[in-house]
Chains A and B, each alone.
Chain A
Amino acid sequence: MRKKMVFLLTLLLLISVSEARVYNVNFAGITQAYPYFNAYDYNNDTNAPPVPPSESSPPSGAREFSDTNYRNIWYPEGTTANPGYETHYFLFKLSQDAAVDRVEVHWRGAANDGNDLVHFFAYNNDTRSWTQLANITGGTLQWINYTFTDPDPYISPGGYMHLAFVGDPEGLFDSNGAPYTDYIELIVTVNDAYVQTACVQVISDNVRDWDGIFDSDTVSVQARATTTGNEPIPWYTNLSLKAVWSYLGSGSAYFGSGMSNSTGEAVISGRPIDGGVTDRWRVSLKVAARDAIVDGVPYTGNSACSEVSFADNVAITPSSYNVTLIGRYWDNGGADWVRIWWVAEPSDVLPVNIGGYNLPVAQKFRNWDFLLYKIGAVNVIGPNNDNDNDWEGISSNVNEVNSEMYPACIGPDDNTTQPYNCGQWAGNCRDSRSVGVGLLGQLPAGCCVTESGGTMSAGNCARYETGYRISTLVEFNVPDHNLGEPGKAVYKICSEYGNLTRYLNMVPYPGHEGDQEAPCTSHLLSVYLTVSPTSTEGFFRWTYSLLGMDIVKNHPHGGLGLLSFIGLWPDNQHVVGLVVGHRFGIHPFTALVTSMPPGTYPADEQASYWNLSFMQVWLYYLLKNLAYGIFVTAEEWANMHLRYPPSGEDNITALNRAINLVIGDFLPYLDETLWMLEASGNNTIKPFIVSTVTQLNDTKRIATLIRSNETLRAEFVSLTGTLFGKLPELVGPPDASTGLNYLLKWRTEGLTYTEKRDTNALIYDLLDRLLSFAVAIMKHLPLMEYVNTPASPGWNFNWIENSTQP
């Protein structure tokens, strides 16, 4: 008999445990309009409420919570409801009592003050009386948790449960003891036999198939909750948006929520980022009905009709970036390692709107923050560079960067209305000031100096940090001379120069990068201002004063003239890019960088770890990321006709127009580069030649490593395979129905004559500048052999000795 009992019991347990569904019933999203859960406060001078007149209503005189008070009890976030009376009365319509196996009550709130209590009562339908079950003391927010293992007596035949929280001011039950309710929820276990399926239908939405949105864009859908028999379900509380993906990783996440109204229709909206969905190429967006108890019926969304997709293959692009890239760096001192940190905050990332629509996977950047940190590695691989443990940096993120460690910057935003001026030094370059009580000169306002036709002007950087992302291509650049006060001082105080070109040109390399003087005789007083240090680099790091007066204020966050990045960016984890720029107006460099998983690269200060074996790890990720980038680009371009259709919104002509914007974006950078080369002459051209030659040397090192290291060789083979295997998708079929061919065909047939002509003009401009650049370099190349003076440094010039060490 016992055995039989045990067997039956086990069976029962198994049945009840495996065929139950748990619901979280709370007030989130509930307003006065909602019919099934209600909250009231009730004025009662006795310790327990009166018996409710019917299963579905509270005692007469109960006041329903206002919408504001309902709002306060949506989430346990500390905002409380306290309408005034001492009884907080909650009336829930759950499911019929046979269906409900167990109820846990979690209430968070507080008594009126330190000595008061709050009593928790539940209404027992069998005894027709209120039972006190728990209480709390004190005015701090705390939880009352109570479990009904046998909830039947407390649930009416119609499925209603009455709960009351009564404030008790030290034994006197009057309205001085009104409690505070922060949140209440019921965890209800329902027997599966009673659970029904909820379905959804999509009425309209604001995203199309193959669209592209930011993770911070609001997706909005009009939907209907229905039963399996197509009957609408009014007041369905748990409708949600869902993102599902299976391309390049798989996963899903809910974001956004909504509730259907009295007709069963709902507007559900949300942002993908709120569900953690970002940086994905092919997301399926769906409306989902999730578990909810509505009007006494427990519903579940576990059927195919419970999730309906309204947009497939949607690209969700990040609305902000915070990325670290690691790579090789080449300048006239040799080859080294860099760590690059790029931050684009949400306000820095804008959509590209063409013809009234935001183009998919297209973004414009401005006022971004940037740090390039050169690691002075021990046992440097390659030609000798700056001394061991010699770190240098270029940064534009004042808020988080140690200005001693990272001296030069490119003008970070200070999160106010003025972008691109070194925020922390706002008073320094942005404002005008008189020097040496006006005896030595007047500096105009503005952090950027421009020179045009030999005439100087200072201003607040007419061309801001800029950049674009289009599909898998990212470029950003700073085309300005943020030379701050030192730049202004040069032509305003020193009579030798008159403009920036003469300063850059007449002062030899050691006078810019090293310890030599740059002569400066005051305009107004004809006083020769001798200095230590006076090199351009010195001017930026240290204030130069005379007789206690600040002549040139230091500007540690100024000095980067130009910077440009271009790269393949399939997602934030697989970036490969090239950086070109120069520091302090002179010292040009190039760098090849890629993204690496955290932990795979050494810390900045671990100088000895940035060695040859690390180089092989870096090469591994470089090759892998390049292959990944080609793969993703090919598959995107194979669907170019879907992402950017031949006509309609977000079409291929809009994409071509966006490309024209990018070309135009890049030109001012080349303009400035060329100006700098011509202005500073030998001081920039010679170092650039050296850095190029250093790069060539590193190329051999990289090639040899790829050939000798079996893992790298395999990755290279894999990269080759990807390149040739994906080529058909990249270029597209010969009928130009998609791929690059499609882009080219519509570039020709979709743009107007004037647009094509004007973009061609830009490209010819570009070619023009590149020609000037090539001529400058080739002209100086043989000269490197014949001279070796600071004014005209040649191959034998010691660049390191002639640079200022920190």
Chain B
Amino acid sequence: MPLSLDLSTVYIIDGFQGNFILMAELFRAIAINSTISDYVANDIYYIFGFLKWLSYFLNDISTIVNNEIMLGNATWKGWLVGYWQRVALNSTWLFGDWRGAWGVAYLWNRGLTCIQPGQFCYSINYGNLTTQEALEMVKWMFNATSEVGRKLSIWYPWS
């Protein structure tokens, strides 16, 4: 059975719905399990510690690159500048154009068009379903944030 433009749009939206569902389940797990929200509260300390060392490492690499370019190393200059130039030259196809015919903009355009009345995604209620899943995710995200948030002063005592 071959696909079609409509079916492929549906599948792409499926990808989003699937991710919303999984994220909702993740946040729900944090919200309803006090053991897990304890873990998350504790993790904040370690995440910032990781941020420090990750930044330290990335900074070292970037400094080396900058250094090589300032020394006049043609290979590095070519790579770095060339890379950005290629992104720029292809930016229409990557990000999109104002008509919504290319890039990510095209995907969003398709996503919007398909859920309009009379279109295929509308007929299978996908607009509502997707929003529903997104709202579920946000709901659980709020629950999870509040569960973790209220533990912070208990988890990190002032003295």
Contact = CB atoms under 8 A, between A and B. Distances in A.
Interface of A: 334, 383-384, 690, 693-697, 699-704, 706-707, 713, 716-717, 720-721, 724-725, 727-728, 731-734, 736, 740-741, 744-745, 747-748, 753, 756-757, 760-761, 763-764, 767-768, 771-772, 774-775, 778-779, 781-782, 784-785, 795-800
B93 A731 contact: no
Nearest to B21: A703
Nearest to A774: B94
B18 A703 contact: yes
A696 B130 CA distance: 14
Contacts of A772: 86
A733 B65 CA distance: 29
Contacts of B60: 748, 756
A654 B40 CA distance: 33
A234 to B, nearest CB: 56
A721 B53 contact: no
Given A383-B1, A734-B45, A744 B11 contact: no
Contacts of A784: 5, 8
Nearest to A704: B21
B39 A703 contact: no
A731 B48 CA distance: 10
A764 B49 contact: no
B42 A728 contact: yes
* Ranked 4 nearest A-B pairs via Cβ: A696-B15, A734-B49, A699-B18, A700-B18
Interface string B30-45: 1001011001101101
Nearest to B24: A707
Contacts of A795: 2-5, 7-8
Contact of B46 (A704, A734, A761, A775): A734
B138 interface: no
B36 A720 contact: yes
Determine chain A's interface SS by DSSP, over half rule.
helix
Contacts of B21: 700, 703-704, 706-707
A703 B17 contact: yes
A781 B8 CA distance: 11
Given A740-B53, A781-B106, A796-B4, 12 more contacts: A693-B12, A696-B15, A697-B11, A703-B18, A727-B46, A731-B49, A768-B83, A771-B87, A775-B86, A781-B107, A785-B5, A800-B1
Determine chain B's interface SS by DSSP, over half rule.
helix
Contacts of B65: 760
Contacts of B101: 782
Contact of B25 (A706, A774, A799): A706
B87 A764 contact: no
A778 B106 CA distance: 10
A768 B86 CA distance: 9
Nearest to A786: B5
29 contacts: A383-B3, A695-B15, A696-B11, A699-B14, A699-B18, A699-B19, A702-B18, A706-B21, A720-B26, A724-B36, A724-B43, A725-B39, A727-B43, A727-B46, A727-B47, A731-B46, A731-B47, A734-B46, A734-B49, A745-B56, A763-B61, A764-B80, A764-B83, A778-B102, A778-B103, A782-B102, A784-B8, A785-B5, A798-B1
B44 to A, nearest CB: 10
Given A707-B21, A753-B64, A795-B3, A693 B8 contact: yes
Contacts of A763: 61
B140 to A, nearest CB: 12
Nearest to A726: B39
Contact of B30 (A720, A745, A761, A782): A720
B22 interface: yes
B40 to A, nearest CB: 5
Interface string B60-84: 1100110010000001100110010
Contact of A696 (B18, B43, B52, B103): B18
B29 interface: yes
A92 B27 CA distance: 74
B11 A775 contact: no
- Pick the most buried of A384, A703, A728, A771: most chain B CB atoms within 10 A of its CB: A703
- Pick the most buried of B43, B68, B86: most chain A CB atoms within 10 A of its CB: B43
Interface residues of B, number: 60
A799 B2 contact: yes
Nearest to B54: A744
Contacts, number: 172
A775 B103 CA distance: 9
B2 A798 contact: yes
A721 B29 contact: yes
A744 B93 CA distance: 36
Interface in B84-103: 86-87, 90, 93-94, 101-103
Contacts of B64: 753, 756-757, 760
B50 interface: yes
B57 interface: yes
Contact of B3 (A701, A753, A796): A796
B40 A724 contact: yes
A469 to B, nearest CB: 23
A685 to B, nearest CB: 13
B100 to A, nearest CB: 10
B66 to A, nearest CB: 11
Contacts of B54: 744
A731 B50 contact: yes
Contacts of A733: 46, 49
A731 B42 CA distance: 13
Contacts of A702: 18
Contact of A697 (B2, B15, B46, B90): B15
A329 to B, nearest CB: 16
Contacts of A799: 2
B83 A717 contact: no
A240 B134 CA distance: 63
Contacts of A782: 101-102, 106
Contacts of B17: 700, 703
Contact of A756 (B49, B61, B87): B61
A383 B107 CA distance: 21
B40 A703 contact: no
B11 A741 contact: no
A733 B87 CA distance: 37
A65 to B, nearest CB: 66
B19 A384 contact: no
B79 A768 contact: yes
A314 B77 CA distance: 46
Contacts of B75: 761
Given A383-B1, A734-B49, A757-B68, A721 B83 contact: no
B46 A721 contact: no
Contacts of A760: 61, 64-65
B59 to A, nearest CB: 9
Contacts of A768: 79, 83
Contacts of A732: 46, 49-50
B2 A696 contact: no
